[in-house]
Amino acid sequence: MHASITPAILYLGTPVVLNSTVNENGSYNLAPISSASWLGWRCLLGFEAVSKTPQNMIRTGECVINLPSADQVDAINRLSLLTGSNPVPVGKTQRSYRHKQDKFGAAGLTPIPSETVAAPRAMECPIHLEAKVAKVHRVMADEYDYSVHDRSAECTLEGIIRIEVRITRVHAHPSIMMDGHPNRIDPNRWRPLIMSFQRYYGLGDEITASRLASIPESMYRSPDIDRAHTASPTAQTRLN
Ligand SMILES: Cc1cc2nc3c(=O)[nH]c(=O)nc-3n(C[C@H](O)[C@H](O)[C@H](O)COP(=O)(O)O)c2cc1C
């Protein structure tokens, strides 16, 4: 029989991503998150709103989502408990976070230029997704009084937000590409880093033939792909 339980967290296993953004002074921030899911060429990223990353994204309208492989877990550990926010927000001091401006240096990763956004890519990560902010969604609006913060011109958001981004460029390392398919990543070669209940795992081997995979990947192609390859206007950041 199952038991009815009350776990403090429901981090049931998702890939870790490294978000790079540009700070007010032009330096770069880099932060691990695991609340990331994809629909077409859109990604929904979940943040504590006081973090530096969502504030940079709302101010600049863009970011790069870098995907580390499982063998880059040390870089994630080096970035853990660091924030680009100075001073460190109260909730984070209680969890022993420290301010660090040079997060690329702390991680031992190399910033390289992007093609469609000012935020840099993390060279050593096998996948880079350049992205523009499409919309900011409030989460837990039934719990927080967001109206107080909406009246402020500053990015003094509280609570939890989901930022929807539109991918504008995808970069993949040749080592994870499918043979004979220049636009397909090979899931047998791509080894994402998975965070489950704050601990790290890799993927095992493929376990069975997939009925879902009988659908050609090309059938999922969305208009965002064509849009990504034409000049795009500056993203308008809107709060919901
Ligand atoms: C593996 C991992 C996953 C994380 N996932 C999230 C997440 O999904 N959302 C979030 O707000 N913070 C997440 N964090 C915590 C952030 O890294 C933390 O809030 C950090 O302060 C963000 O950096 P920044 O303040 O410079 O943006 C995660 C941390 C680690 C190490």
pLDDT value of residue 140? 84
Model-level pTM? Answer: 0.92
What's the pLDDT score for residue 62?
A: 98
The per-residue pLDDT for 180 is 97
Residue 25 CA to residue 197 CA, distance in Å, equals: 35
Torsion of CA 195, 199, 202, 207, to 10 degrees: -80
Specify the 3-state DSSP secondary structure of 227. helix
Confidence at residue 235, expressed as pLDDT on a 0 to 100 scale = 41
Instruction: Give 10-residue mean pLDDT values along the chain (240 residues).
Output: 96 97 98 97 96 97 98 98 96 95 98 98 98 94 71 60 97 98 97 98 96 94 90 44
Give the CATH number of domain 14-228: 2.30.110.10
User: Residue 40 and residue 177: Cα distance in Å, rounded?
Assistant: 19
Q: Is 34 in the pocket of ligand 1 (CB under 6 A)?
A: yes
Query: CB of 118 within 8 A of CB of 60?
Result: yes
Interval between CA 144 and ligand 1 midpoint (Å)? 20
pLDDT of residue 231: 53
Q: Is the CB of 47 under 6 A from ligand 1?
A: yes
Beta bridge partners of 19: 31, 65
The alpha carbon of 173 and the centre of ligand 1 are apart by a number of angstroms equal to 25
